[in-house]
Structure 1
Amino acid sequence: MTGFRVDEVARRVVNLSRVESLRLLSGVPFGRVVFTRDALPAIRPVNHILDGDTVIVRTQLTSRLTSTVRADSDVVVAYEADDIDRTTRLGWSVVVTGIARTITDPDLVARYDALVKPWADGNMDTIVAIEPTLVTGIRLVGRA
């Protein structure tokens, strides 16, 4: 579609099922984890995999995310990923909200170390699992 203006394209929002949302999330390599740090919202881009419904991320022991998760064993975080076309502004967005915990089981740590490849330099020595309590997703589609 050449010659169109983005504001001329009609769009609508379609709510996605939990299953479809998790399927889409599993198909992208990174997203953003949202947590509270010193009573303020914090957002960090991280790469991830899904293990079943659980979002798995690697981070550094010294990161703010890790210190937040270690300080509160029941800390609630959100994880968001999307794939929205910059030109048409069509695509999808998924948000997973749930309890984040560090993984300490040596077998699981070794497994996730092999599966989740760091995308940034540094010693990514900590695995965080986000157990989804709430999964929401939307798809932005053009009107027919």
Structure 2
Amino acid sequence: MDANDGFRELDRQECLSRLAEAPVGRIVYTRQALPAVLPVNFSLERDGAVVVRTSAVSDLVSAVDGAVVAFEADAVDVTTQSGWSVVVMGPAALVTDPVEHARLLRTGPRSWVPAPQEVFVRIAPELVTGRELVGGRTLYGVHLPS
């Protein structure tokens, strides 16, 4: 961390710990050759993979299956002007194995908008990065006025 930028880089384990506490994140993907961002609830696997449950007929499924995507979650405290952000990047794939699908039905994320036929999308954690804003509006331990 540069002494003046106010950010601290998070290591992989810290990133995954923060991510495990977040109730909602955002999947970033390409839709019709343009960037798209969609908020989703999710679960985190032990290896750091992000799992999203969605409708089998959603536009999201066809757009991300086999594509490299980013997934971001964060927490912000506006009072202290502090927070963190974690990004997971890697290929997304539809879970097609029946045994794995059955396991995720029991242990995976619950859909906030249930659909007649739901599928799971797994994002492999090829790159996991994160940073924390420490101190908010402080400089060298002195609180700065807003």
Shared fold by TM > 0.5? yes
Match 1:117 to one of 92, 110, 121: 110
Q: Establish whether residue 91 from structure 1 lines up as the match of residue 83 from structure 2.
A: yes
TM-score (norm 2): 0.83
- Of all paired residues, the percent bearing the same amino acid is 45
Match 1:55 to one of 39, 50, 56: 50
CA distance in 2, matches of 1:120, 1:140: 33
Query: What residue is the counterpart of 2:16 in the other structure?
Result: 22
1:1-144 map, 5 Å: 12-52=6-46, 53-70=48-65, 73=66, 75-115=67-107, 116-123=109-116, 125-142=118-135, 143=138, 144=141
Gapped regions of structure 1 (runs ≥ 5): 1-9
Aligned 8 A contact 2:26 2:72 in 1:
yes
Cα distance, 1:137–1:124 mapped onto 2, change above 3 Å: farther
Query: What residue is the counterpart of 2:144 in the other structure?
Result: none
Aligned length: 132
SS in 2 for 1:132: coil
Q: Which 4+ runs in 1 deviate beyond 3 A?
A: 121-124
Gapped regions of structure 2 (runs ≥ 5): 142-146
The one-letter code matched in structure 2 to 1:68 is A
CA distance in 2, matches of 1:112, 1:83: 26
